[in-house]
Chains A and B, each alone.
Chain A
């Protein structure tokens, strides 16, 4: 049910402006932008979050995930007991991941308006978003491999795949760091009188980037706050990842509205 909602918004949105906008057709120049597409792409992060959280947290039951210190028989029992749920969940997670890349492309487009055509921040942000999407796409394929045929695989194999999935997930944190730092920098170098994004959003992006750094400790401890199920490495990192999305997405809608108004004023002049 919940998965259906975001695309439906898209469909509701689409037919609306078409008849209501006769003017843009004549006014449209090579430089004009279709803001409907940008808005739809901005909504796409809702698909990402819905599929990702449903797959990872609800079906996978990884909220919090099975602990880093579990023995091979313990983690294998988990995979055997939840074999079907894990398969469904991991498929959802992998399928949802590319929507994060689409969303990053919108943010990149807005950053381009801040920094100009030769700027590198929009590209770094997009690359970081692309890689972050891959980071949430590969671990589910590893975990589904562990769940698939879990009944006939030896315990150690399942444990190894479970570990591998987590290391792929956590040790690639720098992909998200470069995305956040590029976004934060772009927000802070914005020279408009009223910046497109409020400055605190830039500092929030920096904070979330910094918060990922303790993930380097995941391989060092199997329990405590730095283990992959721990207070910092799981709760801190995962909650803040979604908090940043929840802040940036509405701000991106606001920025798009302002850019559209500016474009319209420019076209009228």
Chain B
């Protein structure tokens, strides 16, 4: 902020953080909560490595991998949508954004299928500490995915009705949030599914 205001004459556009002013407080807070959860997971795993390893092996790594691909592809679509919107290319922007929405929706569906598979195999949140963390961490993340997908879908509808020109800062905020959802999954996937 102060850096930006210190050099006002650098050009028409001031240097600034992307997204709405101050939204970084929300994002940093959200990341801090998940970090607490990850820390708590690691500490509890340290106390009982056998149970946690047993739980990890019961997860469906293939489905976790597919979900990672879906989310990363969706995030890439959002990046392209923002770039197209900044360039004023409405058709492309909408197409890419639709891809992002589809990625989020597919992730949510796939996650529900994965939960059903786990429950079928007799694993619920009360099975062990590992599954408590598995269901709560991925569940909170899934809530983020659903909210993020709804936000992206809202922008898609707004773009269809009013064009892509206005509200770019607001869309930047939405895209930022989406990348946070993405970033969290990139930590969650190795932490729960991969690392021994």
A contact set with B: CB distance below 8 Å: 188, 198-204, 206-208, 210-211, 213-214, 217, 220-221, 224-226, 231-232, 235-236, 240
Contact = CB atoms under 8 A, between A and B. Distances in A.
Contacts of B136: 214, 217, 221, 225-226
Nearest to A184: B26
Contacts of B25: 200, 203-204, 207
A191 to B, nearest CB: 14
A213 to B, nearest CB: 8
24 contacts: A198-B22, A200-B21, A201-B22, A203-B24, A203-B26, A206-B26, A207-B25, A207-B29, A207-B30, A208-B29, A210-B26, A214-B33, A221-B125, A221-B132, A224-B40, A224-B44, A225-B36, A225-B37, A225-B136, A226-B132, A232-B33, A232-B40, A235-B36, A240-B29
Of all A-B residue pairs in the complex, the 9 with the closest CB atoms, nearest first, are A200-B22, A207-B29, A199-B22, A203-B25, A203-B26, A203-B22, A199-B21, A200-B25, A207-B26
A232 B139 CA distance: 15
B29 A224 contact: no
Given A217-B136, A224-B129, A204 B40 contact: no
Contacts of B21: 199-200
Contact of A231 (B40, B126, B132, B140): B40
A208 B25 CA distance: 10
A199 B26 CA distance: 11
Interface of B is mostly: helix
Interface string B44-70: 100000000000000000000000000
A211 B29 contact: yes
Contacts of B30: 207, 210
A249 B51 CA distance: 47
B125 A225 contact: no
B23 interface: yes
Contacts of A202: 22
B191 interface: no
B90 interface: no
Which of B29, B36, B37, B129 has the most chain A CB within a 10 Å cutoff?
B29
Interface string B63-105: 0000000000000000000000000000000000000000000
B153 interface: no
B184 to A, nearest CB: 13
A168 B99 CA distance: 43
B20 interface: yes
A203 B36 CA distance: 20
Query: Which of A203, A204, A208 has most B Cβ within 10 Å?
Result: A203
A269 B24 CA distance: 40
A116 B23 CA distance: 25
A232 B37 contact: yes
B132 A224 contact: yes
Contacts of A240: 29
B28 to A, nearest CB: 8
